[in-house]
Amino acid sequence: MRQKKGIVTSAKMTGTVTVTVHRESFHPLYKKPYRVSTKFLVDLHGQDAHVGDLVRIEECRPLSKRKYFRVAEILKHAAQVSELKEEKGVEDLAHKKKDTESSHHSSLTTHRV
């Protein structure tokens, strides 16, 4: 069975994700390497993959007209938007604390004449 590694680029379908697989090819005359990407429709097979996840897919019997790969395993999870919002909130609180300290400090320095 063929196995490939790729990145999930779309997870808008039910039970199916789009995985982009990159490979390197060489120009026949100039021998310069360039990147070629191929998109595959992949069955989730009960797993929970999101956009940006690195997955390993393997070939299986045809499940539909264009879907003939299945997610074997999720190699690396991408950060989700909710996690990023939480981090952003923590950073905002830290910056507000610094801003209030600096504004208090600047108000002290402006009253001196």
State whether CATH 3.40.640.10 applies to domain 3-76. no
Per-residue pLDDT of 15-59, as tens digits, reads: 999 999 999 999 999 999 999 999 999 999 899 999 999 999 999
Per-residue pLDDT of 55-102, as tens digits, reads: 999 999 999 999 999 999 999 998 877 766 667 776 776 777 666 656
pLDDT of residue 95: 73
Higher per-residue confidence, 67 vs 111: 67
Q: What is the pTM of this model?
A: 0.70
Q: Which of 46, 47, 68, 48 is nearest to 58 (CA)?
A: 68
CA distances from 93 to 21, 28, 30, 89, 105 (A): 40, 56, 55, 6, 18
Higher per-residue confidence, 96 vs 14: 14
